Amino acid sequence: MAMVEITKEVFDSYEDKMKKTITNLTENFNAIRAGRANPHVLDRITVDYYGTQSQLNAVANIQVPEPRMITLTPWDPSMLKEIEKAIQSSDLGINPSNDGKMIRLVFPILTEERRKELVKSVMKYGEEAKVAIRNIRREGIDKYRAINKKKELTDDDLGYFEEQIQKLTDKYVKEVDKSCEAKQKDLMEI
């Protein structure tokens, strides 16, 4: 019976999963609009471009000419109506204005109530990310406890694994907290 070795690669695989959770959290935060124009709020919106679902940045030039405005100028002018429909049917909550050449998105100043709602969303995303990170830790611990039960891993090695995976978990939970704090500050700024 071969003994299982706890190597750097073992931890790297769990760390990669935790990094993906942070990346996902960042994407969720980018989709939350904070009263000023951020082209990332359009990242999740796709449009039918000749039978293929394409992101807006693939079919139009996206610019931020003013702090609270985004303009979209399609490469193909016939896409204006399609882009406008995609924005209207999204959860962005902004009505696009189409002048026949470009689409303008004007971001209204957020009310205090709306800011508080958005902060709640930030906290929800943050909590979901922490749960995902803890689930990754649990998955690893369960796996290596099962290997230990089969006597393919020493108790000392199991203890070392549990200690190291907990350190990784703590590191990424702190990163989630920092990201949430920064996003909250951004949202509450007037």
Residue 190 has what pLDDT?
A: 59
Q: Under DSSP, is residue 174 helix (H, G, I), strand (E, B) or coil?
A: helix
Residue 34 has what pLDDT?
A: 65
Superfamily of domain 8-30+111-188: Ribosome-recycling factor (1.10.132.20)
Q: Within the chain, which residue ranges are assigned CATH 1.10.132.20?
A: 8-30+111-188
Q: Under DSSP, is residue 12 helix (H, G, I), strand (E, B) or coil?
A: helix
Residue 33 has what pLDDT?
A: 65
Residue 92 has what pLDDT?
A: 73
Residue 31 has what pLDDT?
A: 74
Q: What is the CATH number of domain 39-106?
A: 3.30.1360.40
Residue 3 has what pLDDT?
A: 67
Q: Within the chain, which residue ranges are assigned CATH 3.30.1360.40?
A: 39-106
Q: Under DSSP, is residue 180 helix (H, G, I), strand (E, B) or coil?
A: helix
Q: Taking the chain (190 residues) in consecutive chunks of 10 residues, what is each chunk's mean pLDDT? A: 72 94 90 72 84 86 87 89 86 82 85 86 95 96 93 90 95 96 83
Place of tokens 């995902």: 132
Residue 160 has what pLDDT?
A: 92
The answer to whether the beta carbons of residues 188 and 115 sit under 8 Å apart is yes
Distances (CA, A) of 11 to 15, 17, 141, 155: 6, 10, 12, 18
